[in-house]
Amino acid sequence: MRASRPLIFSAKKPSLMLGAASGKQYLLIILLGILTGVSLFLMGFKLFILAAICVSLMVVFVIEPWIGLMALIFVIPLERFLVFPEYSFLSPMKLLVIAVFASWIVHMGIYGMAKPVKSSQNIILMSFAVLCLLPLFFMIDISAFLGSYSRLIMLIGLFFMITNIIKTKRRLEITLWVVVISVFVGSLIGVVQSLTGYYLGYVSAEISYIYGAREIGGLFSPNTFALAIAASLPILIYFLLNNSSKGRSLLARRIALFVILFINVAAIFFSKSRSGFIGICIVAFLALFGYRGWLYQHKRLTSLMVLSIILVFLLFVPASYINRVLSLKQLANFRNPDSIDESSLRMRVRLQEVDLKIFLEHPMLGVGLGNFGHYAVEYNMGASHAHNSYLTVAVETGIFGLLLFLLFLLNSFNYLRMMNNKNKNLSGIRIALKISLIIICISLLYDFTFLFFYLWVFSALILSLKNIETPLKNK
């Protein structure tokens, strides 16, 4: 007699209808929501409202966790609007991740636990998470560690959910559309903020004071704002080149995407971010000259894109931004930081020197996540992190943490290399994700983007793409 696999609940076919689950199953969800709501109500009314919204969404997400995952990916470039300073330890973003993850687990219990995607990336990330706990007993600032570590666990959970939920080409393409549209919404907010001078969000006055006329959109700094846009550009280009639809629908889609491209590039220029400018250059170089002339094969569309960027440049680029970009040539004097006139570049060079010194003092396990700033004070540097993610990971997690992080990145590129190049239906997505990941990996050299959402999202989408292509190889 064939043994059946034990389930937490009785297995039923997934459906978007509310009747897909039994009354007992929904009673369990409601009781879980009540317990969560009551516990958070004791902490404050605002948290109770957040919990109520969270529990309501959980009911929808249990029926179809993919909807929750799309909602989570959509709000990534709007993270600044999901922050309440008085409850920074439990932001709505974290609540949303917890809600999606919990509802996905319950969904698996209701409909049968599917096999988790097997990947060496899972082992690497679990090892990295455990390794980060080892310096816990001799850290200077436990609260700073908990803040960084909770975000790391949130990103690892997001990575795991993406790889286990997105298993078809259709879902992958819809996810990429969500990325493009959500980044566009953030760019549009940024352009409107720049033109009107009015900043939205709870911490707007503080941020606008710090960064002055530099645009931040829905994120916390001009550099991460510009990087999010630059990393999404290859995906936008993929949809521009994709001619799956015909006639008027294709024309309408391309016009809409050109408008998005125009506003996205304008938002990068408003941010006055040198990393954003570098990102645009990387996209242009790799798309035009790499991958057998990905863009060169579509000369008309390429010409229109170049003209759009030139037009945005002429309309919106101030002289101060051009001067910021030209200041990069001062990095040639990195051996002598005092000879660098631009204060931001001089600080970055000095911070990297401090990074190396602290790393040599704590090479094995590091000083602990989020603890770099306490050691930098000893060298008269008031910064919470260095503007180099590789060095910061080395300082805070040690040599073994750095090796695991590098292995995680190399694995993503290796997956892209192993994929079936003959599958033309997925080759465009593969090229777009590869260029996006290259942009982020290069940005790790000059900014702290180790806990940047899109690094983990794109790495997870690459693994999902590999799993989608695997059956094609076996046929």
Show me where the domains of the chain are located.
18-115, 134-326+378-474
Write down the pLDDT at residue 103.
76
Angstrom CA distances, 211 to 4, 104, 384, 385, stand at 60, 39, 17, 18
Write down the pLDDT at residue 375.
80
Contact 145/371 with Cβ under 8 angstroms?
yes
Mean pLDDT to the nearest integer, 347-364: 82
Choice among 186-195, 241-250, 274-283 with the minimum mean pLDDT: 241-250
Contact 16/64 with Cβ under 8 angstroms?
yes
372 pLDDT band, cuts 50/70/90, is: confident
Write down the pLDDT at residue 452.
84
Report how far residue 264's alpha carbon sits from residue 47's, in angstroms, rounded to the nearest whole number. 34
Q: Does the pLDDT at position 238 exceed 50?
A: yes
Q: Does the pLDDT at position 16 exceed 50?
A: no
Kindly report, residue by residue over 112-142, the tens digit of the pLDDT: 656 777 788 889 999 999 999 988 888 887 8
Report how far residue 306's alpha carbon sits from residue 289's, in angstroms, rounded to the nearest whole number. 14
Q: DSSP readout, 373-409?
A: HHHHGGGT---SS-S-HHHHHHHHHHHHHHHHHHHHH
Provide φ and ψ at 60, rounded to 5°.
-70, -40
Angstrom CA distances, 101 to 15, 66, 96, 283, 467, stand at 19, 11, 8, 33, 21
458 pLDDT band, cuts 50/70/90, is: very high
Kindly report, residue by residue over 198-216, the tens digit of the pLDDT: 666 544 444 444 455 677 7
DSSP 332: G
Mean pLDDT to the nearest integer, 264-272: 86
Write down the pLDDT at residue 118.
77
Write down the pLDDT at residue 38.
56
Mean pLDDT to the nearest integer, 382-400: 84
pTM: 0.81
Kindly report, residue by residue over 331-341, the tens digit of the pLDDT: 766 677 766 66
CB atoms within 10 A of CB 130: 9
Write down the pLDDT at residue 438.
93
Report how far residue 228's alpha carbon sits from residue 172's, in angstroms, rounded to the nearest whole number. 19
Mean pLDDT to the nearest integer, 78-85: 69
Q: Which residue has the higher pLDDT, 38 or 401?
A: 401
Q: Does the pLDDT at position 51 exceed 80?
A: no
Report how far residue 279's alpha carbon sits from residue 269's, in angstroms, rounded to the nearest whole number. 12
- Straight-line distance from the first to the last Cα atom of the chain, in angstroms, rounded to the nearest whole number: 32
Q: Does the pLDDT at position 294 exceed 50?
A: yes
